[in-house]
Structure 1
Amino acid sequence: MSSLRQKWITAPLLKWIRKVLPPISDTERAAMEAGEVWWDAQLLSGKPDWDQLLSMGPPTLTEAEQAFIDGPVEELCQMVDDWKISYEDHDISPEIWEFLKKNRFLGIIIPEEFGGLGFSPTAHAEIVTKISTRSTSVGVTVMVPNSLGPGELLMAHGTAEQKKHYLPRLADGRDVPCFGLTSPEAGSDAAAMIDSGVVCYQEYKGEKTLGMKVNWHKRYITLGPVATVLGLAFKLYDPEHILGEQEELGITVALVPTDTPGVTIGQRHLPAMQAFMNGPNWGKDVFIPMDWIIGGQENIGHGWHMLMSALAAGRGISLPSLSTGGAKLAARTTGAYAHIREQFGIPIGKFEGVQRRLAEIASIAYVLDSAHKATTRALDQGRKPAVVSAIMKAHATFGLRQAINDAMDIHAGKAIMDGPLNYLGNVYRAVPVAITVEGANILTRSLMIFGQGAIRCHPYLLQEMEAATNADEKEGVKQLDALLPKHFLFQLKTFCRAVFHGWTGGLFASSPRGVGEAAKYYRQMNRYSAVLTLVTEFSLMSLGGELKRKELISARLGDVLSELYLMSATLKRFKDDGSPDEDRPLLEFAMRAGFHNIEVSLIEVFHNFPMRIVGQLMQFLTMPWGHSIRAASDRQARACANLIMVPSETRDRLTKGVFLGNSGDGIDIVEQAFLSTHETEAIREKMKKGGVRALNDDAIDQALSENLISAEEAEQIRVTSEAVNKAIQVDHYESLPSTSMERGSSETLQ
């Protein structure tokens, strides 16, 4: 029976699979093989095991990590003057650089045995998050050496000698690292890289040495202008067959001291009005000994896999930390400003249009912080979730953009007049940088999240692809034949589950125990997990390799997977926090927004599916009633907005980690006015009931003379009035602020 099935069913099916499978390049294969699957695989299983996620518990900090955040991180934030850094000096001061090096900020992830701090991913993320609420430029400067750079690559792949030499120097700042991958011609497409090296012998330190002669041109390299050691990716060739028969050896990664003959460090770029160091570099016939390859000669050709492995972890920390910090900052300051800023005699936060935006800001901050915590918790446990990291990078920066845009709208003129009092402007200008780097979001969303996720997370697809590419025909048929019954059973279960939950609106879907009223959200999560899994099966079977080229279909399915991850993390965070009733409006708004986005994405997939009848069938089976979950109501939006317009544990919990500024800073001024208005709210209500609505001196005198308030209360109101007036002010200048940056100059700071 088995042989007959293989002959008449499996073998023809194998041929068909080979025809429809999308071609996979070596770089794509390396990217798919890097990292690992985690909760994303559960979401694409059609029946998530919630115990796997909820049993992880919340992320925690050690005493040493918390002490570092309360001590050196706080002190660093107090030292920073972001206006001076970004607009006057266009550089971080020598004092801050020295502080960073002395306190080992550049060695957060380097083990203590090598002189680093040896902190966890959660601590790393919390440190970058807090610094970024003070200065994006300083945040990036701390972030880069600790992720996606030589330090991480050395720890994972370096030789004992390389670790012993470089890690202590990187930890204490004697060496400042950068990593050169992006080139003008290829961008982040490593397959198109033209930077190359040729294996050769050359005299080095008086001896004939085996090495490589390398030529390159890199740009957009963060810390490049100040780096002392350059991590370099290039394609290596062996035309004289010194190492063997193979001529093209693949992408290789080496560490190159920047004072090596032939290395040129170019003039600075100035990224979107940010002051972190960034610039191009070149190499002309630079001789690199073999032992400069990270991991030594045996790692020739493994560079792309090494980079993707590092990216699988680093991308889940770096930009999500900056984005989470920015969203928290937007929530904290915008809620305060909406309360103290009055229009037509009432706080602008009372206007329904403003309330909706406030609710969205608060919800974004809540979701991003939740997903950030869940991701770093997984990283703490040694996981490297590649697809989840891509989701975090793309959607954290998307979320930051929306939160800052909404915050700018509410602040209005306060946020568009530059100066030290403007705490949002520089974050706003940093958004395009975050959106673009570490893989542009358009490509990450269109090609990576679902493109890799559907293959990596599917329980059988990757194995079936391996069977299809097996050079041994008989062995390939055997592999596929063993998988087909399991895959068919998986499809059958998924079909039944998705159709049943689709037609019943998820009413009978399961939910984990002990989640209380949040059970209704878990049921819907299970429903849409099943729907996404079934739609994935239909898409792969009907489109095959064509799905890879249908980027908008892939992007929308990726959006569904991303929303499911973000919402899972939000549910986890709510449970980790003890399911506080006061936080429920945040959960309700976030979950309704997420389900609404999922339904919109799925319906767009159905309506735009290349095979129209398949799209209609998928909608009939899984969403026969169309939109079934509405976005948050106005009542829910109002409740959510109010949470960030009053002093409360919820507000403090939501915005934990935001640096509130030194005395006299823009953030501190607004925060103090916010607190003062709440302290005097009852007094102001008495004045309003008496017909006195203004807060100027004449109005206060009138209220005092009419015995509406006491002399002590009048003084309190004057203090509040002065605080509010100070908070709504913007900077103004007799002439433009001076700057030390001249176009085309090359200023570097060691």
Structure 2
Amino acid sequence: MSTPFHAESDSFLGRVDVVGLDALFSEQEKATALAVRAFVDEHIRPHIASWYEDAVFPREIVPEMGRLGVLGMPYAGYGCPGRSAVEYGLAAQELEAGDSGLRTFVSVQGSLAMGAIHKHGSEEQKEHWLPRMTAGEAVGCFGLTEPGAGSDPASMTTTARQEAGGDWVLNGTKRWIGLGTIADVAIVWAQTGEIGDGRGVRGFVVPTDTPGFTAEAITGKLSMRASIQTELHLEDVRLPADAILPADSAIGLKGPFQCLNEARYGIVWGAMGAARDSFDAVLDYTMGRTQFGAPLASYQLTQAKLADMAVAINRGYLLAHQIGRAKDAGTLTPAMISTGKLDNCRVAIGIARDAREMLGGNGVTLEHSPLRHANNLESVRTYEGTDEVHQLTLGRHLTGIGAFAPHATR
């Protein structure tokens, strides 16, 4: 039996582009994606298997990412790159094609920590932190989630008490905080009013060398192993009065939610990078793997699975593209973000799992990327809002009824 014809693609997205996605993007946008892809090929792919196996985040790569221009990418001023939302999305999917952990670093640093300062900070806070963070000279983390307050941040128990002299004193614990053990600055959200009243939540810029601030790495992870997740402890952390994020936009939960939406937007694209890489890995494997005298790619079951993967990935890119153009146009809504985060994560994890299955026994090794992607996507699917949170966000959009708690109100 002859070897099947292997069509090449002129699309910058490669062989998976079956609907002409390439035409949707400008030359500048494609150049940005290809520059990040070259970075991933040089700095991430040769090492990611060992980083993942050894549970190592490569701290030395941070300044390289700064030089690449992907830290705080969508923001302007203060040394930030000031690129479009679509360019940032394309960069995110290229980084996640390398590994979710490395894309997550860019998200925590840029969308969450830098985003909080850029959106809500004072001029002094912006000038002090943003140039260093966009260059990769300083690392930030974002302390919102707590051991008992994940999907319900209004129930956080971390407190900030202002004393007579103006100083703030913070006490509490945050959990599942990316980068905490290597961060130079933490954006910590705390209750300044009654516990359980989200209207009293405020954000604080906390240098991590402040007495009383400690961070402990969470170990034993089966996902996101080339990434850092931590628990933060704040014990009588004393801050000056000007440590608070002063903008009116930072009062209450709307402050952290704006930052979370920035991170969720990156996930809409990033998940497609993991899906595309899984597809490419299994396409190459089935083209070269011979069983029963013929390449696996020549069998009908294999081609049916590849076709379904390609259709799902193209649909995901179309969704990401629509959401990205809306973000650049200023018409993006929370329902759009929830739609993209919900569906693209579900699509990506399904493709990664199917690709692992098609690799047979070889698919459980770090020689091949799909199972690593699938494991990582378990975390990506969970953080920045679980499936259920986004389903309820869409449910509220569709019905006008909030159903996040048993006492749902109109």
Q: Quickly name the TM-score band, shorter chain normalised.
A: 0.7 to 0.9
Determine if the alignment matches structure 1 residue 431 to structure 2 residue 377. yes
* DSSP 3-state at the match of 1:220: strand
* CA 79–312 in structure 1, closer or farther in 2 if over 3 Å, else same: closer
Alpha-carbon offset, residue 328 of structure 1: 1.1
Please give the residue correspondences for 1:180-329 in structure 2 after superposition, counting only pairs within 5 Å. Answer: 180-201=143-164, 209-237=165-193, 250-269=200-219, 271-273=221-223, 274-295=225-246, 302-317=251-266, 319-329=267-277
Alpha-carbon offset, residue 320 of structure 1: 1.8
Distance in 2 separating the partners of 1:339 and 1:263: 53
Alpha-carbon offset, residue 284 of structure 1: 0.8
Residue of structure 1 aligned with 2:396, choices 440, 451, 468: 451
Alpha-carbon offset, residue 162 of structure 1: 2.0
Alignment correspondent of 1:33: none
Which residue identity does 2:131 align to in structure 1?
P
Please give the residue correspondences for 1:224-623 in structure 2 after superposition, counting only pairs within 5 Å. Answer: 224-237=180-193, 250-269=200-219, 271-273=221-223, 274-295=225-246, 302-317=251-266, 319-416=267-364, 418-419=365-366, 421-445=367-391, 447-455=392-400
Distance in 1 separating the partners of 2:210 and 2:127: 20
Alpha-carbon offset, residue 181 of structure 1: 0.7
Alpha-carbon offset, residue 372 of structure 1: 0.9
Distance in 1 separating the partners of 2:163 and 2:81: 39
Alpha-carbon offset, residue 73 of structure 1: 4.9
Listed as ranges, the gaps of 5+ residues in structure 2 are: 1-22
Distance in 1 separating the partners of 2:170 and 2:37: 40
* CA 312–238 in structure 1, closer or farther in 2 if over 3 Å, else same: closer
Alignment correspondent of 1:14: none
Residues 509-543 of structure 1, C-alpha deviations (whole Å, 9 max, x = no match): xxxxxxxxxxxxxxxxxxxxxxxxxxxxxxxxxxx
Residues 226-273 of structure 1, C-alpha deviations (whole Å, 9 max, x = no match): 11111111110399xxxxxxx996111111111111111113445424
* CA 355–430 in structure 1, closer or farther in 2 if over 3 Å, else same: same
Residues 330-368 of structure 1, C-alpha deviations (whole Å, 9 max, x = no match): 222223323332322233334333333222211111111
- Give % identity: 23
Compare CA radii of gyration and give the structure with the larger one: 1
* CA 430–248 in structure 1, closer or farther in 2 if over 3 Å, else same: closer
Q: Using structure 2 for the length normalisation, give the TM-score.
A: 0.85
Alignment correspondent of 2:93: 129
Which residue identity does 2:239 align to in structure 1?
I
Residues 479-498 of structure 1, C-alpha deviations (whole Å, 9 max, x = no match): xxxxxxxxxxxxxxxxxxxx
* CA 168–137 in structure 1, closer or farther in 2 if over 3 Å, else same: same
Distance in 2 separating the partners of 1:268 and 1:454: 39
Alignment correspondent of 1:86: 52
Distance in 2 separating the partners of 1:270 and 1:172: 31
* DSSP 3-state at the match of 1:133: helix
Contact 2:108/2:178 (<8 A) preserved:
yes
Alignment correspondent of 1:108: 73
Please give the residue correspondences for 1:60-75 in structure 2 after superposition, counting only pairs within 5 Å. Answer: 60=26, 62=28, 67-71=31-35, 73-75=37-39
Please give the residue correspondences for 1:600-679 in structure 2 after superposition, counting only pairs within 5 Å. Answer: none
Distance in 1 separating the partners of 2:253 and 2:158: 14
Which residue identity does 2:360 align to in structure 1?
A
* DSSP 3-state at the match of 2:142: strand
Structure having the higher helix fraction is 1
Across the aligned residues of Structure 1 and Structure 2, the Cα RMSD in angstroms comes to 2.8
Determine if the alignment matches structure 1 residue 160 to structure 2 residue 160. no
Distance in 1 separating the partners of 2:62 and 2:80: 17
* DSSP 3-state at the match of 1:101: helix
Contact 1:339/1:349 (<8 A) preserved:
yes
* CA 160–428 in structure 1, closer or farther in 2 if over 3 Å, else same: same
Distance in 2 separating the partners of 1:546 and 1:197: 30
Distance in 2 separating the partners of 1:328 and 1:305: 34
Listed as ranges, the gaps of 5+ residues in structure 1 are: 1-56, 202-208, 240-246, 456-543, 552-750
Alignment correspondent of 1:707: none
Which residue identity does 2:246 align to in structure 1?
G
Alpha-carbon offset, residue 550 of structure 1: 12
Alpha-carbon offset, residue 369 of structure 1: 1.1
Distance in 2 separating the partners of 1:545 and 1:303: 18
Which residue identity does 2:243 align to in structure 1?
W
Residue of structure 1 aligned with 2:108, choices 123, 144, 155: 144
* CA 387–269 in structure 1, closer or farther in 2 if over 3 Å, else same: farther
Stretch moving more, 137-146 or 99-108: 99-108
Which residue identity does 2:233 align to in structure 1?
W
Alpha-carbon offset, residue 327 of structure 1: 1.4
* DSSP 3-state at the match of 2:200: strand
